[in-house]
Structures are given as structure tokens and as C-alpha cells.
Amino acid sequence: MNPLLDNFHTPFETAPFDLIIPEHYMPAIQEAIEKAKLEIEEIKRAPIPTFENTIIALDQSGERLNIISSIFFNLNSAETNDQIQALAREISPLLTAHSNDVLLNEALFANIQLVYEQKEKLTLTEEQKTLLDKTYKGFVRNGAKLDEPQKQRLREIDKELSQLGLKFGENVLAETNKYELVISNESDLSGLPDAIIEAAAQTAEEKGKPGKWVFSLAYPSYIPFMMYSENRELRKELFIASSTKSCKGDELDNQQHIKDMLRLKNERANLLGYPRFSDFVLEERMAKSAPKVMDFLHNLLEKAKPKAQAEIKELENFASEIDGLDKIEKWDFSFYSEKLKKQKYEVSDELLRPYFKLENVIEGVFLTSEKLFGIHFIENNDIPKYHPEVTTYEVVDSDGNHVAVFYADFFPRAGKRNGAWMTSFRGQKTVKGKEFRPHVSIVCNFTKPTKTKPSLLTFNEVTTLFHEFGHALHGMLAKGTYESLTGTSVFWDFVELPSQIFENWSYEKECLDLFAKHYETSEFISSELIQKIKNASNFQQGYQTVRQISFGLLDMAYHGTYPATITDVFSFEKEILQPTSLLPDVEGTLMSTSFSHIFQGGYAAGYYSYKWAEVLDADAFELFLEKGIFDRETATAFKEFILSAGGREHPAILYKRFRGRDPKPDALLKRAGLV
């Protein structure tokens, strides 16, 4: 029996990772597609289409296929290999074709349209109205009203896009994995903290290079090297390796993939009646339109750029003063920034690391969630894992009722892409009175433990953990009927609110007192050090804001431009980033070819969402600051109207229910020191 097709006889019906082998995926996907097709045929045969037999039935169809594909593609990001990647290239077109078979089915759409046209006469809840609107729009926005030749072309486009996205990600991962900076001379380690040196020695041993030190492009290796290495030439080498991923004209180059994807996305938008891809995307976002996004980004840039320029000038003066450097290059920025921050605020990552042992920080996010939302995390080793490093938990409420399953996967490895993300193996829904609770995972790339030290996080890694855990709470606390509207199934420029607001707790003494203690002495972090963290929180905020805006502008330029005008990716990126450029360009470097958020992930025409949601999170957290960061009444309202509500109503309505008014940008500008 293929374990993917059987009922999961595991705790909480979790994925039976211990039984699944790669050979199971293709036959399971094929059989699940056939089952889903039969379910669609059943819906089409309804003599009189109703909300129940058409809209609800469609929302509940394809359940087994959704679960299998979630398992497979989550592993393709977190624990992949050549076999899984090869399967992905075969499976992705099958799923795309099946999705199009559903969305382009004339008889099915006719039934949906009949129900939709009767919506004013139906007695529906707000959640049901949202489901009906989302279902109808989903079909229209994916070609249901096209003629047959147009539908055929849309199918071809979607198939090509699915394959190009996979190839883009594979190339970036391969580039990340193949590069090594091997150091043989101990003097070249000057400036690096002992823990980073020990980790590099451990990596060298694992790679069969004892007596040497190996650094990579994985974040826990790359970032500390750029921040602390006193060897400027090696910093330059590592920077260029990181900044030239997939743009060197070899078999891992992504430049043509970018141009092909942009051309296909734009053609797809044109088929559906939109001038540009960004017009198609933003129709279903809070921002609504490209001009509104651009106004938002440029208004922020106007406030942030003068501060950013002053910060760069301050850094240049500092570097000149201590090292006689006449010009700051991009590979110097982190190095001198860390030194300047330490001088100005008497705080540094290495000073803070001992207080942020990973296990303690995990306990901290658990306790914070408990105090806010009354949930508890119980480690459960009976839940199967896809890798030995994964930790599994049952989540329960204050009465002991089951809430969710939570997977945590924290360390870099060859089969995992860079970065940090939240995902789910099963969403939350209610079917015929039975509630299915979610299975949620966060995947990160944090500093690994060594032979002599546990995993000690930088403060940035601490905020990353809080960020991803905020997404996880959005998934775990979901409370709705229809899976397509629960958890993180919300507008893309709203989905970052739960994650970004949760970061705020990691700066507050009342929260840090729960978990920030020295890993050797168990001494809790001092009030003075916490104040230094807060004082330093605005350090180079102008620069960081401009940097985020630059990514948003580049994304909008790619997806709001006619692709035929992009003949050279290098020159296009340089032109778009020029208004946000603060440091000298480095010839031959290119960030677009590894910009996975917009070319592999779901942030195309949506990267602005991070800054957009910052307005929401700063405004929302201001209420917690007024009432108390652990005020249960405020937390309960946030849980009810934001975390549990999912996408049952428009996010602007949900936010107003929580805050009592529309968001104001004042709190963000104040927090970032821009006013």
C-alpha cells in the first residue's frame, strides 16, 4: 500500500514521513488527480447547482491531492535531492494541467456562475459570501471566460511557468551549495569570533578537509564572515560569490529564465484582459493598483533616503577615522556597521549571542504565545519527521484541547534552500461538523551548534524566529469553515501583519525576561543590555528602509513593465536600483538572478507587502504598548479578528474590527526614526 494514499495512521493524522520514499510520490499524485477528477464530475452533474453542492463541494474537493502535493513541495524546499528535484519537474506540470482542467471547465464554471448570479437571493454568512466571490473570481481570473484557443495558450503558459520557477530555484540552490571559501592560513581568520571559527572547522571536517576552515553562502556562515572578518580581500571574494549567483553565463544562469518568465506572465495577463502582470496581481490586494504601490514606496523613500545618506556618510567617516579607508564598498558595509554599532551603543551580536541559546529562544516564543493566546507546546516524538533535526510538538489550549501540530526545522543543510519560511502540511477546516486542525511548520537556517557550544543566535536570528512564529500562529490559530479562507489564505499584503507584529515582542524587557539568559551562567539579560538593544533598534534604519524599498521597486519594475523592453537584466536592474543606490556598484554582480521571492516564491508584484504590512504592524503594536504587551483583552481581539479570522472578510474590515479604526503610518515612521 502506498502510504500517501492510505489514511494516515499516525498521531493527529500527520504525514507518515517514516514510511514515504520518493518512489511513492508519482503514483500517489496520479491516483489523487484521478480521484479529484471524479469529484469534479460529481459536482458538474448536480441537476440544480446550489451553494452547497457546487461551491462548498468544490472547496472540499481534491483533499488527498492537496495533502500529497503539500508534503512533496514542502520537502522540495526543506529536504530535497536530485531525485526529488527530478520528480518535481515531472509532477509540477501534471498539477498545473489538472488545475487548469478544473478552472477552464465550461460546465463547472456554468454551475458556479448560476450560483453566483443568485447570490443576492441566497441567505449566506459573511464567510460564505467571501467563499462565493473568491470562487467565482478565481475562475474568471484564471481564464474561465476565454475562448478555446486562448484557453489552450493559457495552459501552455502555465506549464512553462511552473517548470521555469522550479529551474530558477534549483539553480540558486546549486550555486549556494557548490561555493566554498576554504581557508588554510589561521591568520586569515582574524577578527572572527571563536564560535564562528569553530563552526567553520566543523564544516571543513564534515567536508573531508580537516585542519582547514570552510565558509559557505549559507546565511549563518556568510553573514558573520562579512560582519567580522578583518581580511578585506576575502570579504570581497565572499561578497562577489554571493552576489553573482546564477548570472555567470553557465548552465546555472537564470537571466534567460527571468526574461522568459516575465514574458509569459505578461502574456498571461494580456490574455485575461490586463495590460500588465502587476495589474492582474494587484486587483486582489489591499493596495489595489500599481500607482498606489509606487506612491507608497516613493513616499517612504522620500522620508528614508536623506537619513540613509547621512548614515552612509557617518559610516564612511568612521571607516576613514579608524582604518584610513577612503571609500566604503559593499563588502565593507556589514564590517564597519557592526563596529560602529558597538561603539555607539556598546552592543554587538557577539555580546548578545550567549543570551540567546536556541532552545531558550524557542521556549521564549512558546511562553509569549502562552501569555498572549493561552496555548501550550508539548514535544511529541511519536509524530513522524522528514529529517532527524526536525522537532515536533502538539499544541493545546488552556483546557488541554488539541489546537495544532507544529514542526520546527532550524539548521542549514545541502537539501534546504536559504532563508526562513512558514508552511503547512494541512490547513484548518470544518467538514460536516468535524473540525480538522492544522499541521504547521517553520523552516530556518540558523547558527548550528558546535562540539563545544550550543546553537547561539544573533539578535537578528531571534527576530527571524519571532517573525516566522508569527506566521505559524496565523496558521495554528485558524478558526473557520473553508480551508481556502483560513490561516494564511489572506491578501498577500496582509499576510505579513501577524509575522511582523510578533517581532516587536523580542525587543521588550517583559518578554526578554522570559527567556534571555546566559547559556553558561544562567544569568538573565540585564535591563541595561535590553535598553541598549532598544537604543540600537533604529541603527541604520534609513539604510534598511531604502534597501527594502529598492527590492519592492525592482519587483514592481519587472512585473509592471512590458517585458520586451528588458533586453539585458544587468542594465535593467542597475537602472531601476539607481535611485536607491547608496554604495558604489560592483561590476558583474546581480541580485535579480537569485531573487527567489519574486521568481520562485509568491511575491511577484507583491514584495512591497513587507513595508505595507509594517504600517499595519507598527500601528497594531502601538495598542499593545498602550494596554500592556501581554494584555489579554487586546491579545484576544487580535486573535479573534486577525489570527483566527483568516480571509473570511476583507482585511481592511478585519483590521478595523481589531483596532477600531483604519491604520495610520505615524507609528511606523516614529519607530523607524524617520520623523
Count the neighbouring beta carbons within 10 Å of the beta carbon of residue 542: 23
> In sequence order, what are the beta bridge partners of 404?
395
User: Hey, which bits of 572-647 come out as E strands?
Assistant: none
Q: Buried (b) or exposed (e) across 335-356, using 16+ Cβ within 10 A? A: bbbbbbbeeebebbbbebbbbb
For β-strands 421-426 and 213-215, DSSP reports them as: unpaired
Contact 611, 297 (CB under 8 A): yes
- C-alpha grid cell for residue 136? 467565482
| Calpha distance 125→192 (Å, rounded) | 60
- C-alpha grid cell for residue 454? 550550543
| Calpha distance 412→449 (Å, rounded) | 11
Contact 245, 591 (CB under 8 A): no
Q: How far is CA 257 from CA 5, 154, 161, 586, in A?
A: 35, 18, 9, 23
| Calpha distance 135→69 (Å, rounded) | 21
- Let me know the angle formed at the C-alpha of 596 by 285 and 462, rounded to the nearest 5 degrees: 85
Which one is catalytic: 39, 79, 127, 468? 468
Q: State yes or no: is 468 an active-site residue.
A: yes
* Residue where the block lists cell 500517501: 4
> Shortest CA distance to 548 belongs to which of 199, 297, 273?
297
- Using CA of residue 166, residue 272, residue 556, residue 465, what is the dihedral sign? negative
Q: Buried (b) or exposed (e) across 491-508, using 16+ Cβ within 10 A? A: bbbbbbbbbbbbbbbbbb
* Residue where the block lists cell 488545475: 99
- C-alpha grid cell for residue 194? 571563536
| Calpha distance 613→496 (Å, rounded) | 6
> Shortest CA distance to 175 belongs to which of 113, 242, 127?
242
* Residue where the block lists cell 453542492: 53
Please name the residues in contact with 465: beta carbons below 8 A apart, sequence gap of 6 or more.
361, 362, 365, 442, 444, 446, 457
Report the catalytic residues: 468
